[in-house]
Amino acid sequence: MDTTQLLKGVLDLAVLAALRDEDGYGYDILRRLRAAGLEDVGDASVYGTLRRLFAGGFLNSYVVPSDEGPHRKYYGLNAAGRAELQRSGKVWHGFASTMDDLLRERETA
Amino acid sequence: MNSTAQDEITEYVERVRAALADLPEATRAELLEDLPEHLAEIRAEDTVTLTDRLGTPEAYAAELRATAAGFVGGFPDPPKRNGFQPFLDARADVVRVLGHADVKVGPLIGYPRASEFLSLLRPAWWVLRGYLGAMAIAYLFDDSGNQPGLLPRVGGSTLVALLLLGLCVVASILVGQRRLATGGWRRYALNIGTVFLVLFAIGGFFSADSDVRDPGYSDAGYSGGGNPYDYITDVFVYDSQGRLVPGARLFDQDGAPIQMGNAYCTDPNTGESWHTRNMGYPYCPEAAPFGSPAPTPTDPADAAESAVPVPDDGPSAEAGVEPVPTATSPSLAPPKPTTAPTTAPAR
């Protein structure tokens, strides 16, 4: 099974989760996801997802000037984003436990 | 952040934009809006180029396209069909096939993607482009009519060739590093120039290939290949006094006679042409390129006077007390100019 296929379905949720505790800019969020174990996630996926979530009204964004290097565009969860994280999180847990059960049944059977 | 990185980002974004050309304009604008800033953040993280870090712009665009599919904010407009659509579709197909080949071929040569290997070859292409550019310049500006060979010789000068070659290679490398001539119309000019160079290189390659396989006839004659003995029709031998030597014979180091020219003479006034009666060179003495300062050796008296005391006159002269010279040395007598002074080769 290819994790990149799985990732496609949960990328929104993963990005929302990465922003739950702390705002971040694009590359920063990519690093968080990879550090969390999603090694296969690509920069374009994170960037595109951020754009999409922002356009959907789930994120706010602001620019932070940087002394060395370019300005950075930070993203953070707004109220709608937090609500979406919670809702999607529940869906995922339900889905994941269903899959777990399914696999366990097959393995014990 | 320097201008090199800025140009790199701009070009990367443009290629991503091109690869997403078939998306609805609103979606594309939304996706690309922050891309330059985002890439600038990434570029600032370390010194690796964007392509090395993120893969090709086309691959990046493909990934971006996948995330755009389920846009939460909704970009529902179906793609507008317009006259360019078939071309854009075809291009998208080509890009997809190339991307597929990229990933498939890469592992065969030990790289994740073939394009990663190709981008390593980029500096080699810069050097090759410099060489091709120099060759093209030499080809256009050299009017010496000689074969240029494999160096960009102008006027047959190897020194000029090496200077031109060095200059073009350095310029090409600078262009490759985007220190020269990037952005806007210059990039189009560069691309058109590259297409021209590639065509020129293909033509030059096959021409050089056929020359090596079939060097042609390069003896004195009709090769047309810059041989200095082409077009010789007659040979004129002058002695140390500047006098035309009639009936001269030429031999090579093995004693084999050297035959060149053709044995027909043409009268420049009447255009009449006839076979020469002379056995040696010149075939056509009247066509001698230089006039002789001394009287021509066809006059026997003059030729004899300029030589040793004349044995022929011996018997008839009153002072000829001694008949010895005539009797004993007929072979020492200077050759009679009326007979051809043939020179036997010393074997």
Q: Cα–Cα distances in Å, from B88 out to B62, B65, B92, B93, B109?
A: 15, 15, 6, 8, 31
Are A47 and B35 a contacting pair at CB < 8 A? yes
* Distance (Å) from the alpha carbon of B94 to chain A's nearest alpha carbon: 21
CA A77 to CA B134: how far, in whole Å? 58
Which has the higher per-residue pLDDT, B106 or B316? B106
Average pLDDT, chain A: 87
The domain limits of chain A are 3-108
Contacts of A23 by beta carbon, 8 Å cutoff, 6+ apart: A74, A75, A76
Q: Residues B176-224: pLDDT tens digits?
A: 887 665 567 777 888 888 898 899 889 888 888 887 777 655 454 455 5
Contact between A43 and B60 using a beta-carbon 8 Å cutoff: yes
CA distance A97 to chain B (A): 25
Instruction: Tell if the CB–CB gap between A44 and B54 is shorter than 8 Å.
Output: yes
Q: Cis ω on the peptide bond leading into residue B282 (within 30° of 0)? A: yes
pLDDT of residue A108: 60
Instruction: Give the model's confidence band at A90: pLDDT under 50 very low, under 70 low, under 90 confident, else very high.
Output: very high
ipTM of this model? Answer: 0.82
CATH 1.10.3720.10, domain A3-108, yes or no: no
What residue spans define the domains of chain B?
3-120, 122-213, 227-306
Cβ atoms of residues B233 and B262 within 8 Å:
yes
- Interface contact flag, B72 A55, Cβ < 8 Å: yes
pTM, whole model, 2 decimals? 0.40
Residue B61: name the closest of B90, B23, B25 by CA: B23
Contact status, residue B266 vs residue B227, Cβ threshold 8 Å: no
A99-108 average pLDDT score: 80
Predicted confidence (pLDDT) per residue in B114-155, tens digit: 888 888 888 999 999 999 998 888 888 877 666 667 888 877
